[in-house]
Each structure stands twice: as C-alpha cells, then as structure tokens.
Amino acid sequence: MSVVRSWTPGRLASVAVLAAAAAISVFPFVWMVIGTTLNPNDVLRGILAPGRELASNWEKATGMYDLPTFLANSLKIALLTVALGLAVNGLAAFGFEKYPSKARDRVFGVLLLTLIIPQIAIVIPMFRMFAFFKLLNTHAAIVLPSIMSVFIIFFMRQNFKMFPTEIMEAARVDGASELSILLRIVLPSMQATFASAAIYLFLGQWNSYLWPLITILGDEMKTLPIAMASMMSAYTIEYGALMIIVCVSVLPVLLLFLTMQKQFVAGLLGSVK
Amino acid sequence: MEQRGLYQRYLNRFGWLCVAPSVFLFSLFMAYPILSSLYYVTRRWKGMANSFIGLGNFARMARDKVFQAALGHNFLFMAVQIPLMVFLALALAALLNQRIKRFRGPLRLALFLPSVTSLVVVSVLFRVLLQANGFLNNVLIGAGAIREPIGWLNDAAWAKVTIILAMTWRWTGYNMVFFLVGMQSIDPEIYEAAEVDGAPRIRQFFRITIPLLVPVILFSAVTSTSGTMQLLDEPNILTWQGGPANATMTAALYIYRQAFFVNADFGYATALSYVVVLISGLFAYIQMRLLGDNARSAR
Amino acid sequence: MRKVPKLLLALALALALAPGLAAAPQKLTVWCWDPNFNVYAMKEAAKLYNKAHPEVAVEVVDMAQDIEAKVISGLQAGGAGLPDIALFQDFRIEQFLSDYPKAFVDLKAQGVDYAKFASYKVGPMSVGKSVYGIPFDTGSTGLWLRTDYIKAAGLDPDAYYGKSLKWSEVIKLGETVKAKTGKPLLSYQSDNFDMLRIVVQSTGGQFFNPDGSLNLRSEAFKKSLALFKELNDKGLLYQVVGWSDWINAINSDQAAGFLNAIWMVGSVKSRPENKGKYMVIPTPLIEGVKGAANASNNGGSSWYVFSSSKNQKLAVDFLKSVWATTNEGTKAFYNEILKGAGAMGTYLPCQGGPNFTANDDFFYKSQPLYKDFAAWMAKVPVLTYTPNYQPMRDAVAHATLNYFQGKIKSIDEAIAAAEAEYKQVMGQ
C-alpha cells in the first residue's frame, strides 16, 4: 500500500474539504491581525490588505484605552488563580485519594454533586456576600471563588490514583513526614498532571466573563474580556484598537497552546463549556 | 497496637488537613450560596428593600413569556447546534484519520485553533464580521450569492443563525479532537478484518467507528448541552443583549439582566435560576443513565 | 526548599487581597458616556473649575452603555466602586430615585436655584421638596439630511433647507434619493425606541397616563407606528442593532440622514469628511393628529452626586460653581460646549452667548443650527417619564421590530404585544 503518492479522487476530495474547514477556522485570526493595521471603517468592511494605521491604533489601545492595565490585571488574576488553585486542589485531591476514609468520601460525593449547578444560579448570593464584605470591585472578588474547583480535584484525584501507595509506605518507614512525602516524592512525578490542571485553571480565569462582569465596576480593575466587552458596548467603537486588544488577549493562550500542545489538549478536554 | 491506632489517627487528621482548604472554600462559595438562595427565592426586591412573597416569584414566572421564550431559545440552540457540530466534528475527524499523514498535523492544528479563543473574543470577532456592511455580506454579495445584505444581527431569525454559526466555529475543532483521540484508540485489527471481508470504507465508518465512538459522542453531547444551557456571553455581546427584540435571549442572560442590569430583582432572578438548575439536573441525570447504559453494553 | 512556596503563597494572597488604590483626597470621579459629547463637556467643566481650584483633579470616565447596570451594582453594594458624580438620562432617573431614595444628595438643600433652569428638566429629578440633579442638556430634535446625496438624486437641497415638512413629503424625498443613489433615507437603530419617541412626542402623545399607567393606545402612537411601517416597507430605513453600529452607519455613509437631537453635533463633527454635507431641518410633522408640531425632544440628561461619595462637599461645589452659577467664565463655558459638541445647556442665565446665534461652517451653508434648535425647543410638548419608562421603552422597541419583520401582523397586535411584555417584565 503506497502511503503518499496514490492521489485517488476520494482522497483529493477529503483533503480539499479539510483544507476548506481549516481555512474557515484560521481566517478570523488572519483577519484580526490585519485589522490591527486598518482604520475602523476598513476593519468593518473586512479589507484583507494591511493598512497603515497600526501605530495610531496602538496609540488608541494604550491611550484611550488602558491596554497595559487590562493585560496586567488579567495576568495577575489568572496567575494567582493558577498558583492558589494548584495548591488548594492538589492538596485536596491528594488527601481524598491517599488517605481513604468513608467520611471524606462522603464529602467528595457532595462536592461532585454540585458539578451540575450552573454559575448563573449562585452569582446572586455570591454578589451579596462580596458586597457585604466590601470586596466588590476588587481582584480578590474574582480570584477567591475560582480557586477551588471540584472538577480539578476530581481530575487530579484520578491521576493520583496512578501513584503507587507502596512508595509512600516505604518513605514512611524511612521516617519521612506526610508533607515531605507529598512535596518531595509525589509532586515531582506528577508534573504533567499539574501542568494540565494549571492550563485548565488559567484558561478558565483568563476567559471568564460573567463573574468579573458583575463584580468589576471601574476601568482600572478591568480584565481583557471585560475591557473588550465594554468596548463593544461603547458609544463609539474604535475597531482598530479593539483588534489590537483582541490579539493581545488571544496571544498568550495561543503561545501556551503551541508550546504545550499535549498538556493543553489534556487540560482543555477536561474542561466543560 | 495502641501505637498503630495513634498513627492511623495521625494519618486521618492529615487527610482532613489536606482537604480542609477546599472544603472551606466550597462551603463559602458553593454551599452557602445554595442554602441562602432558599431565602432569596421567597423575596421580592425593589431597590434596597425586599419583602416576603412566598411562591409569588414562581407565579410570576408562569406568566413571563419572555423567560419562557428564552428557555425555548436554549432548547433550539441545543437541538440545532449540537447535532450540527457533532456531525461536522465527526466528519472532520474521520477525514483526518485517513491516510493523509503528511497533512494531518498542520490540519489538526488549524482546525483546533478556534478553541484557544474565549467566548468574548468569538463574539467580538463575529459581531464585526457579520455587520450589515461587513465582511461576510460583502463576500456573499461579491460572489453573487445574495443581492441584499443579510441581517445577521438585525433580523430575528438570522440572529439565531449567527449564534449557531459562532458556536459551531468555536467548538467544532474542540470536539473533533475528542473524536480523533477516540478513533485512534480503536484497534486497527478490527478494520483490517473488515478490509479482508471487503467492506467499503464508508460502511466500516458506520458499522465500526461510530458504534465504538458512542460513549465519546455522548460525552461531548453532555458537555455541549450543559454549556448551551448556560449560554450567555454570545447573546450578550454578539447579538447585543439578546437582541434583536429578545430573539436570542437565553435563560441565563435573562437572569443576569433581571438581577444586575435592568433591575436588582434578586428574588425573581433566583427563582428563574432554580428552573435552570432543575433542567440542568434533569439533563445530567438522563445523560448519566445513557452513559452508564452504554458503558455497560460496551463491556 | 520548603519555605519558597509558602512565601510565594503569602505574596500571592497579599496581592489578591490588596484593595484598589485609595482615592487622593482632592480627586473627583465622574461617570458619563460618549467621548464626543458628555465626556467632552465634563472635561471642559473641569478645566473651568481648575482655574480657581487647581488642586482638584477631575477624572471623567467614559462608561459604556451598561453604566446604569454598574450603578445598580454599586448601589446594591452600599456605594462600593461608585464615583462621586454620575450622569443619568432624564428618562431613567425616576426609577433610581424611587428605588434608591437615599442614594443621591439633595442639591436643593445645598442651595441650587432651580428657578434658573428650564422647568421641564427639573420635574423628573424632583421628589417632594427635594431636587437631586443638576440639569444638563436639551434634546431638541431635527431631521438631519445629507445635502450631497440630495444633490446626487437630482434634487435641490435649498428646496428643503429650513422648511417644515410633512412626513409624506419626506417619504417622497426619500423615495427619490433611494431610487437615484441607492441610499436609504435614514439610519435607523431597529432595537431602539428613540426615533419612535421623537415622532410620538412631536404629535403631543404620551406613553403614560397621568396616573402612571401605560398608554399605548393613543391615536398619536398608532399613527406613528403606521408611519414607521411605511418607512420600513419602502426601504427608507438603513437598519442596524445597537447604538455604536448606528453611529458607525452614519459615519460610513450608509444612509442619507437620520432623525435625532442636537447632541448628535459631536458625533457628526468627529468625522472631518462630514464637513459641509449636513443640514438640519425641523422634525417632520405627522398629519391628521391634533396638537402635532414640527418639534420634538430626545434624550437629555443631568448630573447627580452620590450620597456614598467621600468628597460630597467638593462634588457639590464643583457642579454648582460650573453648571449653576452665572459669571463670565460659566457663560463662556456654556457657549463653548454648544459649538464643540451641540451641548445646549438648560441653565437659562447662560443661554444667549454668541454661539447660540452664530453660523457654524461645519454645516451646509454654515447653518446657524443652534438658533434653530433653540427655536424648535420652545415648541416641544413635555413628556412624562415615570419610573417605568425603561421597560416600556424596551417592550415597544421589541414589538416594533417584530412588526417590521412580519412576526406581528398589525398595529393593534403590536400594541398588545408591547403591553404584554411590559407587564411581564414588570412582574405585574
């Protein structure tokens, strides 16, 4: 069976279909990059040749709009969520899996049950709670509720299952404390799991919209998605500057994806819409 | 013996210590909101004041045609977009899984690319591409496919198509990767046997691939259903606040608007959210049954 | 080795919990919208105030169209995240005053003389003996027409310049322009109520009865809907969704004009290519309705101070000394923002600066349009808003769009649909 050279009509057709689908998938990216160089009217008309407005669009994105602040806010919030999320959820997954107890399993069952609760159903009491604690319009309001993730605990617990308990027993015999077993023995062998979980947490926070939309009031606190959304509902839209902000918001995720494809897909496939 | 018991207790305590931060955050940001919603749901809000109305919020819901229509839109998007997307994703995965080794990597990468965008970005991009005088209309007019611009954002029927288009662009490649992984884990010997029997490829696809993929397909349908039930970003940004004239209003968006946009009617919005939880739970139950049955029959 | 992650964690927590930067003592924050109009006017006001008070920094934030949602959230949180001063639409403020009675500072008690403001502006911001806002602009309307497209259609713009037209004449004009240039006559925001309001108000119609109940079954309303349907069916409306797309349609030459208020001067002037092209004629007249006039009003908003503001005194002083004081500085200020953005203030002692009668060479034949708008304003019937104006506005806009697109077949059906949605959303 010759692998490459037999170009039957059927295979030609399937490559053509795939290429068309790929083009549709990629086109908006190309178009948004070109858009950063165009004036607003040309962005709208969908001109596909680069223009000369990049500098002035950049000036608007950083002058009229505060792109550096939005980016810094998004990065700070997402990285904090990842750091705290890995610590809290990793610890919990470890505890649930490696220290089996009926009581804890019951707790785990309760956690799993709430996976079906949609976010919209809990934002009202959460808003009232953060208002009560005077934490509205702070980044803490965005980070705190997204640290603990039942899904991540579940995902990491599945992976902790694969770590042989015998090694832990052996370490105990050697007199290692439980914490040092976790940090020195278990963690180093779970890097892939943590990477996937980190990507999942990062994406969830980097892209989150509803909760920041509710809790952020001021410009200086805005994240990239909130900044883009409010640009779209501004009284006049600077489309060129908007395209720059869109590109900036897509770029880190794209880089993450291209450099860590395997963990990325593992992290993403775990996520729910 | 005594010492062993002590050691077990120490391990048990360490176990609790590990899960304590998560359980604490869970009670604060999940358990408490769920419990306190029982209070909200019986209240009617007006400004800063609120009063007890018992089940009044549910009575109001029964009369609220806007909300009922919004729920209907959720179901419509599920019924149209999910099958469309699953079909496309399956087809693309099958094509990719053929003998086109040289192009498989780049093509898969390209098809997966939309998954790196947030729903906000998707909404922004499509809202600009689909303007009345925007790119897509210009291309279609240029190609002679249409004469008058299509009201992608302005026409009540087309706006629904717009939402479906954007969702399909965003999620097809994502689901395709699921299916591809599934297809590649099928034992090639099964196909070889079919090849020997002279079964044509298309028949192999329907007789072997699809049946073996059913759990994966179901799983992707499950996640898509729960995502579509929570649809909010796209109708709020892409079709502008569920417009035109509520034509793309969804349940979640309507709840958000009742609680945080038009009014601060926390009581009524909570009652509405109960319906969404109920429906989500129902779907989850059905799907778990389906997945469970399937897992059993697959064994 | 083990200390590092702990340290990082502590650092991370500290970062997360650090509150936003505390406001400097002499800083005022103002929320409003539209950089070409309100933001511009408030920045001019800050400049004037800074002449006497250079130590006060006024930050004017350009909010998006969810400004009211943000205000609601802030009020629900007891003032967290709210600015010192915010701009409210006149049609929206009654809802806030009734839902949040303690949220705003009573400016009458602070010594503002409301006799000096146009009385129709003061009504919506008054509750009992208290008055809460500083009236800002008027929304006197006109029909904005592109003379270049009228010429391209083989017609003479001068035949329309300064004329009070009937809608039937406008439709005839529109049909000619459409036939000859392909351009629809009016850019139209199909999910928005504004244009319908303009037409209904010009007939003297009201949307609410004096007792506050809904009133959509008036002759004026039915005639207006019929007119809109005709404009729609004859292809004279270039339809877009959302305010920004509407502005964009106007500034990318999609139609030969639009129907809206004097405050559009800012947006039209924001595009230099518009120079010399526009003329504004009086709001067209609907025939056969008693009390109809060639004038109407749309929009108009006013400034309010939040009780939660820590700089209440300063905020009140700022508003009072720029917007409600008569001196050379404030006269020059009101005169300047009129020509800069079409912001026609409603503080009577400061009306009558040179720009109120001057020609503006940005417009066709250097039309003295501020004089014209002021003259039309005198004829505008006053509209009652009530706290429920916003839900009515949405319900009517939705029914109108469905009527246009054929989902609703008749005017009576459209009215019934609007009434039903209003009741449902209101929870009645």
Contact A26 B103 (CB under 8 A): no
Tally of domains in chain B: 1
Residue B279 vs residues B282, C39, C46: alpha-carbon distances, Å: 5, 45, 53
A197, part of any domain:
yes
What is A227-246 written as a DSSP string? Answer: HHHHHHTSSS--HHHHHHHH
The answer to whether residues A204 and A146 touch, using CB atoms and an 8 Å cutoff, is: yes
The answer for residues whose C-beta is within 8 angstroms of residue C204's C-beta and 6 or more apart is: C220, C289, C290, C291, C292, C293, C381
From the list B17, B117, B126, the residue facing A250 with the nearest CB is B117
CA distance A272 to A204: 10
What pLDDT sits at residue B298?
47
- pLDDT-derived band at A2, boundaries 50, 70, 90: very low
Residue of C nearest to B255 (CA): C425
Closest CA to C337 of C6, C26, C36: C36
Helices (H) and strands (E) in chain A, counts: 15, 0
| B228 dihedral zone (left: phi>0; alpha: psi -120 to 50; beta) | alpha
What residues of chain A lie within 8 A of the CB of B232, using their CB? Answer: 120, 209-210
Q: What is the CATH number of the domain that holds B110?
A: 1.10.3720.10
Comparing C-alpha atoms, which of A23, A13, A268 is closest to residue B91?
A: A13
Give how far Cα A41 sits from Cα of A38, A232, C275, Å: 8, 15, 18
Is residue A5 in some structural domain? no
| Edge-to-edge strand list for the sheet holding C278-282 | C257-261, C141-146, C278-282
B63/C407 CB distance under 8 A: no
Contact A124 B269 (CB under 8 A): yes
Report pLDDT for B2.
67
| Interface contact B263-C72, CB threshold 8 A | yes
Task: Please check whether residue B58 lies inside any domain of the structure.
Answer: no
Structural Rg of chain B based on CA atoms: 25
Q: What is the distance in angstroms between the Cα of A88 and the nearest Cα belonging to chain C? A: 11
Tokens describing residue C361:
């060479």
Residue B139 maps to a domain:
yes
pLDDT of amino acid A120: 96
Q: Over 60: is that where the pLDDT of C15 sits?
A: no
Position A7 in a domain: no
Q: What residue ranges do the domains of chain C occupy?
A: 23-138+300-356, 141-298+362-426
Give pLDDT, residue C236: 97
Reference C142, options C261, C237, C275, C256; nearest CA is C261
> How large is the average pLDDT for residues A240-246?
96
pLDDT of residue B97: 87
Encode B244-259: b = buried (16+ Cβ within 10 Å), e = exposed. bbbbbbbbbbbbbbbb
The reply to whether A170 falls in a domain is: yes
**Is residue C25 predicted with pLDDT exceeding 80?**
no
Domain-located, residue A179: yes
Nearest by CB to B66, from C72, C239, C424: name it.
Answer: C424
Does residue A242 lie in a domain region?
no
d(CA C397, CA B245): 7
Nearest to A236 among C5, C36, C82 (CB): C36
Measured CA distances, C240 to A234, B233, C205, C248 (Å): 15, 20, 26, 9
> Which of helix, strand or coil describes residue C27?
strand
The pLDDT tens digits for C386-396 are 999 999 999 99
Chains touching chain B through at least 3 C-beta pairs below 8 angstroms are: A, C
Chains that touch A (3 or more CB pairs under 8 A): B, C
Q: Is the pLDDT of residue C344 over 70?
A: yes
| pLDDT bucket at A31, cuts 50 / 70 / 90 | very high
| Residue A273: band (very low, low, confident or very high) from pLDDT cuts 50, 70, 90 | very low
Asked if B224 lies within 8 A of A121 by C-beta distance, the reply is no
> Which two three-digit tokens encode residue A71?
């980016």
- Residue B148 dihedral angles phi and psi, to the nearest 5°: -100, 145
pLDDT (tens digit, 9 = 90+) per residue, A72-91? 999 999 999 999 999 999 99
d(CA B195, CA C405): 55
Span between the terminal Cα atoms of chain B, in Å: 44
Nearest to B121 among A21, A44, A249 (CB): A249
Closest approach of A236 to chain C, Cα-based (Å):
5
Distance CA B240, CA B226 (A): 22
Q: Per the structure, how many domains does chain A have?
A: 1
Task: Please tell me which residue of chain C has the smallest CA distance to A182.
Answer: C2
Looking at this protein, which amino acid is placed at residue A76? K
Q: Is A107 on the interface with B (CB under 8 A)?
A: yes
Q: Tell whether A89 lies on the interface with B, counting CB pairs under 8 A.
A: yes
Residues 6+ apart with CB under 8 A from A47: A34, A38
Rounded to an integer, what distance in angstroms lies between the CA atom of residue C43 and that of residue C347? 18
Indicate the fold that domain C23-138+300-356 takes in CATH.
Answer: D-Maltodextrin-Binding Protein; domain 2 (3.40.190)
Burial class of B213 by CB neighbour count within 10 A (0 to 12, 13 to 18, 19+) = buried
- Determine the length of chain C: 428
* CA–centroid distance for A123 within its chain: 20
* Encoded amino acid at C227, one letter: L
Percent of chain B scored above 70 by pLDDT? Answer: 96
Question: For residue A264, what pLDDT is reported?
Answer: 77
Coil, strand or helix: which one is C237?
strand
Contacting A residues, span 33-52, partner chain B, CB-CB under 8 Å? 35, 43-46
Which residues of chain B have a Cβ shorter than 8 Å from any chain C Cβ?
Answer: 44, 46-48, 60, 63-67, 131-133, 151, 153-157, 239-240, 243-246, 260-265, 268
A116-146 as b/e, with b when 16 or more CB fall inside 10 Å?
bbbebbbbbbbbbbbbeeebbbbbbbbbbbb
- C239 interfacial to chain B (CB closer than 8 Å): yes
Instruction: Please tell me the predicted confidence (pLDDT) of residue A270.
Output: 56
Distance CA C423, CA C139 (A): 29
Domain limits for position A102: 66-233
pLDDT digits (tens, 9 = 90+) for C320-335: 999 999 999 999 999 9
Q: Which positions in chain A touch B26 (Cβ < 8 Å)?
A: 111, 114, 148, 150
CB contact under 8 A, C80 and A87: no
d(Cα A217, Cα C63) in Å, to the nearest integer? 10
Q: Which of B101, B226, B266 sits opposite A3 (nearest CB)?
A: B101
Q: Mind listing the pLDDT tens digit of every residue in chain B (299 residues)?
A: 567 788 899 999 999 999 999 999 999 999 999 999 999 999 999 899 999 999 999 999 999 999 999 999 999 999 999 999 999 999 999 999 886 777 888 999 999 999 989 999 999 999 999 998 899 999 999 999 999 899 999 999 999 999 999 999 999 999 999 899 889 888 888 888 888 888 888 888 888 899 999 888 988 888 899 999 999 999 999 999 998 999 999 999 999 999 999 889 999 999 999 999 999 999 988 887 887 766 555 44
According to DSSP, the residues that pair with C126 across neighbouring strands are: C131
ipTM given for this complex? 0.93
Which residue type, as a one-letter code, is found at position C286?
I
pLDDT digits over B7-26, tens only?
A: 899 999 999 999 999 999 99
Tokens of B71: 């729920």
Residue B220 is part of which domain span? 64-298
Helices (H), C123-251: 147-152, 167-181, 194-202, 219-233, 243-250
Q: How confident is the model at residue C403 (pLDDT cuts 50, 70, 90)?
A: very high
Is C141-298+362-426 assigned to CATH 3.40.50.720? no
pLDDT tens-digit map of A185-229: 999 999 989 999 999 999 999 999 999 999 999 889 999 999 999
Is the CB of C424 less than 8 angstroms away from the CB of B239? Answer: no
Report the C-alpha gap between B21 and A152 in whole angstroms: 14
Please check whether residue B5 lies inside any domain of the structure.
no
Closest listed residue to residue C256, CA positions, set C404, C131, C105, C148: C148
pTM over 0.90? The answer is yes
Asked if C296 contacts C198 with a C-beta cutoff of 8 angstroms, the reply is yes
For residue A108, the domain's CATH number is 1.10.3720.10
Question: Residue A15 falls within a domain, yes or no?
Answer: no
Residue A172, domain member (yes or no): yes
When pLDDT is cut at 50, 70 and 90, the band that residue C18 belongs to is: very low
Residues 6+ apart with CB under 8 A from C339: C355, C358, C360, C370
Tokens of B57: 């919020």
Whole-number CA gyration radius for chain A = 23
Cβ contact C316:C107 at 8 Å:
yes
